[in-house]
A and B are shown apart, each in its own frame.
Chain A
Amino acid sequence: MININDVSKKFQTADGEFNAVSSVSLNIEEGDIFGIIGFSGAGKSTLMRMINLLERPDSGAITVDGENILSLSRKELLKKRKTIGMIFQHFNLLTNRTVFDNVALPLELAGVSRKERKARVLECLETVDLLEKAKEYPAKLSGGQKQRVAIARAITTQPKVLLCDEPTSAVDPQTKEIILDYLKRIREELGITIVIVTHEMNVVTRICNKVAVMEHGKVVESFPLEEIPKIEPKSAISKILFNESNSVSEEPKEEGEFVYVG
């Protein structure tokens, strides 16, 4: 479904060049829940943001659903993005739109008629069990509810891929489980391919079927989850991630961020 081939990306910083992603190749198959794990600054978010070209790689190739996205014109890219949903750590809902209008936004942008929009929005809100909040504004919702609205919004256009950028890093442990369950459910119901960037091993073990471990812009290891018990972690980072009771407590905490120590 998603093929990332030898992509690299450098950023210019005050201290010179920074290799955010260097020569990464990954193959994500249809129906996967693919985890990308690593500490802050490992390049995992940058890598994921290349899948919908929010970040453009300096070199390499990326195919999504058989289409080389780097060769698309701007217009074609905007169309392609409608087939790739995305959710974020801080939800990124529009504060001045109701829950209903937030979920309707992608359809509105795609020029879908009001009547069709309504039917589809209600359907998506039902998927995340938030129909009764349709007329509320996001400020009135809890973090978990906001993320569920964001999930509903991301699936309105019936995308084939859902990108999740630290989707559970700003919510408490109970809420995290609920959000992960919804993600799992929509994958089963919609057959969508999910990519999750996280720094928490328990997110990966809970819902992913494959995982890639990133460090310093490189994928150091990548394997299916069922092999975890058999696997002997090769890299230092994998050892930390797998051995320390599935938690990543060394992660530098961002403000308001909850790090789960299981």
Chain B
Amino acid sequence: MWDRISPILPEMQLALWQTFYMVAVSVTIGVILGTLVGTLLYITRPGSLLKMPATNAVLNVFVNIFRSIPFLLLTIAIIPFTRLIVGTAIGTTAAIVPMTISCIPYFARLIESTLLEVNRGVIEAAESMGANRFQLVWKILYSEARAGFANNITILTVSFISYSTIVGIVGGGGIGDFAIRYGYNRYDTEIMMITIVLIIVIVQVIQSVGNLIVKRLDKRI
């Protein structure tokens, strides 16, 4: 088996690096902006901190639109936008654009549902102490939801390793593209299987680290 792999090892390493690069950048930006959008979704809800139902409705429609476009189609549909942002529509960096766009609403929904689980009574207690809205979000909501945040980031990362396998279509490269080129285009099932096992191992490691962090952060029990 090794003699089959060793010639293509450099290429495999490059593919792994590309996957890491695409996932790391899109997930990082996705987490930051998704947290912002998710928090807005939460605080503008009727009965929440800001009570801005119109803003909430508009935000919901936007999030739903981007959540409903299949990732493969989104990647192609936003090519002009991608070109505008990074100057080119093909390559690994270009692939980050659709991945990030897809990350933001996905993470926003995860964050919204995590925030909804925060005990209303605790927020009310902080209100009774004279906490302002910024403090309510920053010191109460985020603190109470921190284990959920860690869990959400794990879910997002695992999902986007999966999404990253599609962006070979715009020349994004990555481990998925590698598997398709060798395993499918060259009918090399063995390489395909090796790649799949590798991805399984990576996902297992990410999930385990994620679970460990969640356990550390969660003081509810």
Contact of B130 with A94 in the complex, beta carbons under 8 Å: no
* CB neighbors of A among B115-133 (8 A): 119, 121-122, 124-132
Q: Looking at chain B, what size class is its interface with the partner chain? A: 20 to 34
Roughly how many angstroms separate A110 CA and B139 CA in the complex, as a whole number? 12
Chain A residues, Cβ within 8 Å of B217: 96
Roughly how many angstroms separate A139 CA and B129 CA in the complex, as a whole number? 22
Residue of B122, B124, B129 touching A82 (CB-CB under 8 A) = B129
Contact of B122 with A94 in the complex, beta carbons under 8 Å: yes
B198-221 vs A, Cβ < 8 Å mask (1 yes, 0 no): 000000000000000000011111
Query: Given A88-B121, A94-B143, does the pair A139, B221 have CB atoms closer than 8 Å?
Result: yes
Query: Given A95-B144, A96-B146, does the pair A86, B219 have CB atoms closer than 8 Å?
Result: no
Roughly how many angstroms separate A81 CA and B119 CA in the complex, as a whole number? 21
Q: Which residue of B lies closest to A82 (CB)?
A: B130
Residue of B122, B135, B220 touching A139 (CB-CB under 8 A) = B220
Does A119 sit at the interface, judged by CB under 8 A?
A: no
Task: Tell me if B's interface is mostly helix, strand, loop or mixed.
Answer: helix
Chain A residues, Cβ within 8 Å of B132: 78
Contacts across chains A and B counted by CB atoms under 8 Å: 72
Does A216 sit at the interface, judged by CB under 8 A?
A: no
Contact of A109 with B139 in the complex, beta carbons under 8 Å: yes
User: Which of B128, B132, B135 has most chain A Cβ within 10 Å?
Assistant: B128
Does A181 sit at the interface, judged by CB under 8 A?
A: no
Q: Which residue of A lies closest to B140 (CB)?
A: A94
A88 to chain B, nearest CB (A): 6
B34 to chain A, nearest CB (A): 21
Contact of A110 with B130 in the complex, beta carbons under 8 Å: yes
Roughly how many angstroms separate A92 CA and B144 CA in the complex, as a whole number? 11
Chain A residues, Cβ within 8 Å of B139: 105, 108-109
B3-15 vs A, Cβ < 8 Å mask (1 yes, 0 no): 0000000000000
Contact of A106 with B129 in the complex, beta carbons under 8 Å: yes
Roughly how many angstroms separate A105 CA and B213 CA in the complex, as a whole number? 24
Q: Which residue of A lies closest to B122 (CB)?
A: A92
Chain A residues, Cβ within 8 Å of B135: 109
Contact of B140 with A81 in the complex, beta carbons under 8 Å: no
Contact of A84 with B140 in the complex, beta carbons under 8 Å: no
Does A133 sit at the interface, judged by CB under 8 A?
A: no
Does A79 sit at the interface, judged by CB under 8 A?
A: yes
B124 to chain A, nearest CB (A): 6
Contact of A81 with B129 in the complex, beta carbons under 8 Å: yes
Chain A residues, Cβ within 8 Å of B218: 96
* CB neighbors of B among A138-187 (8 A): 138-139, 150, 157, 163
Chain A residues, Cβ within 8 Å of B122: 92-95
A245 to chain B, nearest CB (A): 32
Contact of B143 with A96 in the complex, beta carbons under 8 Å: yes
Residue of B121, B130, B221 touching A90 (CB-CB under 8 A) = B121
Mind listing 17 A-B residue pairs with CB under 8 Å? A81-B127, A88-B121, A90-B121, A92-B119, A92-B125, A93-B122, A94-B143, A95-B119, A95-B122, A95-B144, A96-B146, A96-B219, A96-B220, A105-B129, A106-B129, A109-B139, A139-B221
Please give the residue numbers on chain A whose beta carbons come within 8 Å of chain B beta carbons, in ascending order.
Answer: 52, 54, 77-82, 84-86, 88, 90, 92-97, 105-106, 108-110, 137-139, 150, 157, 163
Q: Knowing that A95-B219, A97-B219 are A-B contacts, what are 14 other residue pairs whose CB atoms are under 8 Å apart, sorted by A's residue number?
A: A77-B130, A80-B130, A86-B125, A92-B121, A92-B122, A92-B125, A96-B143, A96-B146, A96-B220, A109-B131, A109-B135, A138-B219, A139-B220, A163-B128
